[in-house]
Amino acid sequence: MKWHTVTVVPTLPEKLRPLQRLARNLWYTWHPDVIELWRRLDRDLWEECSHNPVCMLSSMSQQRLEEASRNESFLLHMDRVMEALDQYMNVKTPYSFHLEKGLDPGFLVAYFSMEVGMTEALPIYSGGLGVLSGDHLKSASNLNLPLVGLSLLYKQGYFGQYLNKEGWQQEYYAINDFENMPVTLERDAEGKPVEFTLSIQDRSVRVNIYRVQVGRIALFLLNTNLPENSPEDREITSQLYGGDQDMRFRQEILLGVGGVLALEALGLEPTVFHMNEGHSAFSGLERMRKLMKREGLSLEAAKEVVKSNAVFTTHTPVPAGNDYFPPDLMGKYFGKYAEELGVSFHDFMALGRQNPDDDQEAFCMTVLAIRLSNYRNGVSKLHREVSRGMWKGIWPTFPERDVPILSVTNGVHIPSYISQEMADLYNRYLGPRWIEDPDNEKVWERVDLIPDTELWRTHERRRERLIAFSRRKVKDQLIRRGELPSELKRAEDVLNPEALTVCFSRRFATYKRGDLLFKDADRLARILNDPERPVQIIFAGKAHPADMAGKEIIKNIVQYIHEEEFRYKMVFLEDYDINIARYMVQGADVWLNTPRRPMEACGTSGMKAVANGALHMSVLDGWWAEGYSPGGGWAIGAGEEYEDTEYQDEIESRAVYELLEREVIPAFYARTRDGTPSEWIRMMKASMRSLCPIFNTHRMLEDYVDGFYVPAAHLHTKMHPERKKTSESFAAWKQKMHKHWKEVRIQEVKVSNGSAEIPVGTAMEVRARIGLGQLQPEDVWVDLYYGPMDPDGDLIRSLTEPMATDGAAGDAGYLYRTEIPFRESGRFGFVLRVLPRHPLLVHSADMGLVVWG
């Protein structure tokens, strides 16, 4: 039977018609005044619809809509909101770098991400990666940065969570009703759906495209759940991170290869391609295939064009967190693809292997993304070092410190997580620039102007709302489990609106150590149950359905909560999502993070809490290794790393208890005559003043623009006028360098002032004869690689001083010279180094060629 379908939409009174446009632009998610407008329309329905205005409008009674259309106050509020939206959308001036940086007016960034979390009303995200992606898009909109997002439209999204009576996590999958969500089927000028065909093995899979409007920019979501596709292909966009390895592989083909085809179907020609994590790395292969087919480029030339404007961000600090696919699976899906590229399957597989010659090594999406991009970054400074260690095998001839992976520390889109009360406070004392220019340190210095009592009362109101919300959630959880009425009654008394509240919410992976607090349960019980200075803890978070160790941690926490000494002092909020996170970051006094260093790539939940006035307490990992300073939060340990994890847990759990007992609790409960904790408030202000202007996505996006997007655009422009000639020439130069590199020799080195001891301020001259064989001086960099040394004979930090030549070749080669300026005392080491050089070579280390003296 074939059904005919029709979508029934509400009949909005003429005066309320603007609400339909407002509902389909996620601009509302970071504007409290708009959210208040939706609440005014029907507060209960707003909650029932999970803050989804499209669902809300389609669910409202005609009578209620008519009443609203006659409510003068509501209409004035709506007009004010629509005027603000129109002003926002009508700003035509693009981000100023077009003029400042000399970019083409058609500049556009394509941002690929497997998940995007912008609102609980669109559950196509699982956690931090998705929420970061959503914040990236929101800040791109605020900055008016020409950018489009690409992801998948998941029919069931990520799993929902509930706990049984023993505390074991159970999963369920809700069906997303896209007709009642802020997504719109993309249509062409004739009103026909924009579709394309994706080849998967020997099958043709139809894909259509949905649009999500995020302020000024668009997020495009790919969907295979179409009647003309086979059941197995319809399931590709069923669940986020669901299914087996084969399903993950097909999803990544859709995101990467399909994403490139989608851009083409939409008529978009991006200047820069940004792969957020390795899931979309197949996009580089598809771009290469198209260049080879349409422009007749060789494989190597196409690779250089693709690399020239590709940015790759890795978020994973452990090898197991990266996608690896076995050779047989790669052959199943990409055997014919390799033939079309004109390469052997061995050479094709080499693109995704650290060791290209190891036929047993699995194909890694992160390695592929690294090999097909010139611009690569981790998401914190510490994660940069971890990533260099993980992927140094791609550059075996270079020290780990020179691996060409940089860093852009994550941030958060502050307006999306700030409470209405805190936003009002910022508006009064900081002015509107905390939204418009959030990375301006001068703006955040005005935090000191906020009266202590006003800041504290504002924060207390949010804590009270968190406690009330938690009580409702706990009661609902108990009802769902069929608990006795006496238990439901007790749920109304859990937590204390005035007690010091510690929040812990994140993915429950073992390295995040959600149960570290219970290492000494008796000591924890004494801390929580102090009658004069009580403490309470709110937990939330999910474990991956296949992570039994993570589920065990949740179960153990819940069982502790059932014990009498903890049951009024701790709660676990099920089904963690953006809404729960919002309540927690807005109401927490202390935001606790206990990862096992250095396994936290960045972490962003603490940044959201800090913007709401919470104080951060964490191991010095991820962003906190950069953000911590005494007086603005607390550090668990001093950045130590341990081989014995049991010992580490013991030491760091004690550190948490001691911080609570000696620092946190005394500061919170030391009150002045007006009832405010002056030292605590001083720390709140210090934290907001120093952290908010740095750890936000406005600053993060500008780092991407200046460090990656603009250089990538310029490099791509260099190639474009005669792309075939330029890329083929560059590829031929690389082949020449590989062929003749063995001829490069450092023949002799002479040092003046090279005695054992040199006074500070003295320069040491170095001369060297370099034999280049068939190469020319313009093909190489010659420099002195030097720096202060540690007792083990390794450089503490590396410095370079370029060496110059007059270009005259003698019998022993070219003469190069330079001076090392010694500006500090200590033991220094130096060595000569020769590297490849070319105007299109972004990182000299990329080719893996180096001659050390």
HEC readout, 154-169: CCCECCEEEECCCCCE
Going by pLDDT thresholds of 50, 70 and 90, the confidence category of residue 5 is low
Length of the chain equals 853
Continuous segment of H or E residues that includes residue 651: helix 645-659
pLDDT at 3 over 70: no
Average pLDDT of every residue of the chain: 94
Task: Determine the Cα–Cα distance for residues 348 and 633; give it in Å rounded to an integer.
Answer: 49
Tokens of residue 381, six digits? 């400074």
| Confidence label for 91 from pLDDT (cuts 50, 70 and 90) | confident
Q: List C-alpha distances in Å: 153 to 33, 351, 547, 704.
A: 29, 29, 25, 26
* Residue of 153, 252, 161, 266 whose CA lies nearest to 212: 153
Residue 238 sits at the vertex; the CA angle it makes with 235 and 239, to the nearest 5 degrees, is 130
Percentage of residues in the chain having pLDDT higher than 90: 87
Mean pLDDT in residue range 530-559: 96
Paired with 748 in beta bridges are: 769
Q: How far apart are CA 851 and CA 781, in angstroms?
A: 11
Residue that is written with structure tokens 């059941």 in the block: 231
| Interatomic CA distance for residues 726 and 697, integer angstroms | 36
**Nearest one of 175, 236, 178 to 205, comparing CA atoms:** 236
Q: How far apart are CA 408 and CA 493, in angstroms?
A: 44
| CB contact at 8 A, 380 and 625 | yes
CA-angle at 325, arms to 322 and 330, nearest 5°: 145
Across the range 644-664, mean pLDDT stands at 97
Averaged pLDDT, 681-704? 97
Q: How far apart are CA 22 and CA 111, in angstroms?
A: 24
Average confidence (pLDDT) over 223-228: 97
pLDDT in tens, 726-758: 999 999 999 999 999 999 999 989 988 656 678
> Which band of pLDDT confidence, cut at 50, 70 and 90, is reported for residue 588?
very high
pLDDT at 97: 55
Digit-coded pLDDT (tens) for 67-80: 999 999 999 999 99
pLDDT, tens digit (0-9, with 9 covering 90-100), for 363-405: 999 999 999 999 999 999 999 999 999 999 999 999 999 999 9
- Sign of the CA dihedral with 511 first, then 512, 515, and 520 last: positive
For the cut 80, the answer to whether the pLDDT of residue 680 exceeds it is: yes
In the structure, what pLDDT confidence band is assigned to residue 2 with cuts at 50, 70 and 90?
A: low
Q: Which of 30-34, 171-175, 554-558, 789-793 has the lowest mean pLDDT?
A: 789-793
Q: What is the per-residue pLDDT across 504-528, written as a single tens digit (0 to 9) for each?
A: 999 999 999 999 999 999 999 999 9
For residue 468, how many C-alpha atoms fall within 13 Å in the half-sphere facing its CB? 6
Q: Which residue has the tokens 């219970």?
A: 518
Q: How far is CA 354 from CA 365, 371, 813, 842, in A?
A: 11, 10, 35, 20
Give the ranges where 151-244 is alpha helix by DSSP (H): 231-234
Residue pLDDT, tens place only, 799-850: 999 999 988 887 779 999 999 888 888 888 889 999 999 999 999 999 999 9
pLDDT-based confidence at 99, cuts 50/70/90?
A: low
Residue 49 pLDDT > 90 = yes
Q: How many CB atoms lie within 10 A of CB 739?
A: 11
What one-character DSSP code corresponds to residue 101? T
Q: Tens digit of pLDDT for each residue in 630-642?
A: 999 999 999 999 9
Q: What is the mean pLDDT of residues 321-328?
A: 94
